[in-house]
Structure 1
Amino acid sequence: MKYFTISPSPALARYVRSFWVLEHEVSVGQPYIHRTMADGCAELIFHYKGRFDELLANDKTELSFNSGVHGQSQSFRRFLIREDFGIFGVYLYPFAVPVLFGIPSTEISNEMPDIVTFLGNTGAELEEKMMLAAGTSERVRVMSEFLENCLRKNQPSEPAVFSVINQIIQSNGIASVPELAASSFLSTRQFERKFKAFSGFSPKLFSRIIRFQSALNAYGDKEKSLTEIAYECGYYDQSHFIHDFKAFSGDHPRFYFSGRTEGTGYRDV
């Protein structure tokens, strides 16, 4: 399995956290199961090789898209593939969706629209270019040109709430939301409305998801106990940590950090 990230250009760094690539050769008779976790940030996804089935309830499956958007989410999803695959992703800051595409973040919360549903004919043209690209460098170029053009067309302003969202991400969800709200010089009602429009979630839920994501990043650190991880990530006690972790990942944290759960192979690379 091969997984790596690529930094965006300076022009995109305010809106794109990273580009990433995940490739894997699936062994015969051993399908790969990938699990996406709750995340406060949306992603553009392009499957340039192979195509996944989403595993639904009651043992049902549904063919996933070739290309699309994985909106910011508060739950996990599971996907299965029986062939070799390659994926190119664009990991966005939450406010990038309204800035780049003129769509409120709330419209894609917990949703996974395909790229044509999301962007129309523009999405179809982008998908074709990404699928025909000769390799990673060309995909980065195609995607960077597309996103930089979106910025030029939309000429984005940066509301004060952008800074608040960024600070919550940079603090791994531990920042005081009331204090950040006060610093935005907005009333509580205005702040919560703008925050949800640009992040997709309420400030409280968004902070919980970012805190959970910070806990995921402790994967592979064998020297820390679950209690230490919980406290370092801002949880007041282990019971709250376990509750959020199970809600956002589908796994008990003890099982997840054991390395035996599905879909963590890329973290071991």
Structure 2
Amino acid sequence: MKYFSIAPSEKLAGLVRCFWVLEMENFEGVPYIHRTMADGCIEMVFHYQGVFDELLNNNQQVPSFSSGISGPSQEFRRFSINNHFGIFGVYLYPFALPELFDIPALALTNEMVDTGTILGAAGKELEEKMVLAPDNKTRVAIISQYLESKLTQRKTRNNGISETIRQIINTDGRSNVQRLADDSFLSIRQFQRNFKEHAGFSPKLFTRIIRFQTALRKYPEKEFLSLTDIAYDCGYYDQSHFIHDFKEFSGHHPGVYFSGNAEGTKWITA
């Protein structure tokens, strides 16, 4: 298993948090289960080797897309593959959807849509280039050129909301939502409506998801921190609140997740 991230160009840094690559050689044919967690940001995903099946709650398996966009999500999902695989991802702020593609983040909340459906012929062409590229350095160049070309058409409506979303992410979900609304000089109703369009969720739910994502990043420190330490470090009022949110957004009890034996965590230590 190999995982690494790549910083975007300066031009894209305001919209792209990072590029990432996940690869695995599976010679034994044993199913690898990957679990996606709730996330306030969005991802463009390109499977350049192998395609996963999604595991549904009724124990059915359905083919997932070979490339697509995953919107802001408050849910966890499970995927399986028996073969070698390689995935290239683009991790974007949620307001990149309305600013680059003129699509409200709310339209893709809890959705995964294939590239051709959402971006049309240009999306199918992009998928073909990314999948057939000889290496990940070339993929970075291809997707960077594509996204930088979209910057010329960038729509910056409600830019203050975008900065508010960025602030919540940069403060690990510790920002005071009421204060942010006051600073926006909008009524609370208008603030929440604009926020939801650009983030996909209400400010309160978005903040909870970002706080959960902060807790996930404590995984490398699991041997040195108790669950209580993690809860308080991430701004939870108490451990029961932490456990409730963690189970809702990941499907795991945090004790199981931070044990190092939970499903879908193998890539973290790659």
> Please, what TM-score do these two structures have when normalized by structure 1?
0.98
Partner residue in 1 for 2:175: 175
Partner SS, residue 78 of structure 1: strand
Alignment of 1:138-157 (within 5 A): 138-157=138-157
CA distance in 2, matches of 1:157, 1:209: 24
CA distance in 1, matches of 2:136, 2:220: 27
Post-superposition CA distance 1:73-129 (Å, at most 9, x none): 001000000000000000000100111100000010000010011101111010011
Post-superposition CA distance 1:38-74 (Å, at most 9, x none): 0000100000000100000121010000000111100
Partner residue in 2 for 1:233: 234
CA distance in 2, matches of 1:31, 1:23: 14
CA distance in 1, matches of 2:131, 2:89: 13
Partner residue in 1 for 2:214: 214
Post-superposition CA distance 1:9-35 (Å, at most 9, x none): 000000000000000011414210000
Q: Is the 8 A contact 2:232 2:238 kept in 1?
A: yes
Partner SS, residue 235 of structure 1: coil
CA distance in 2, matches of 1:164, 1:94: 12
Post-superposition CA distance 1:186-219 (Å, at most 9, x none): 1101100110000000000000000000000000
Partner residue in 2 for 1:261: 262
Q: Is the 8 A contact 1:55 1:78 kept in 2?
A: yes
Partner residue in 2 for 1:44: 44
Q: Is the 8 A contact 1:40 1:210 kept in 2?
A: yes
Partner SS, residue 59 of structure 1: coil
Partner residue in 1 for 2:85: 85
Partner residue in 2 for 1:165: 165
Give me the identity figure in percent.
58
| CA 208–232 in structure 1, closer or farther in 2 if over 3 Å, else same | same
Q: Is the 8 A contact 2:18 2:91 kept in 1?
A: yes
Partner residue in 2 for 1:246: 247
| CA 155–82 in structure 1, closer or farther in 2 if over 3 Å, else same | same
Q: How many residues align?
A: 269
Q: Is the 8 A contact 1:220 1:257 kept in 2?
A: no
Partner SS, residue 263 of structure 1: coil
Residue 153 of structure 1 deviates from its aligned partner by 2.2
Partner residue in 1 for 2:32: 32
> Please, what TM-score do these two structures have when normalized by structure 2?
0.98
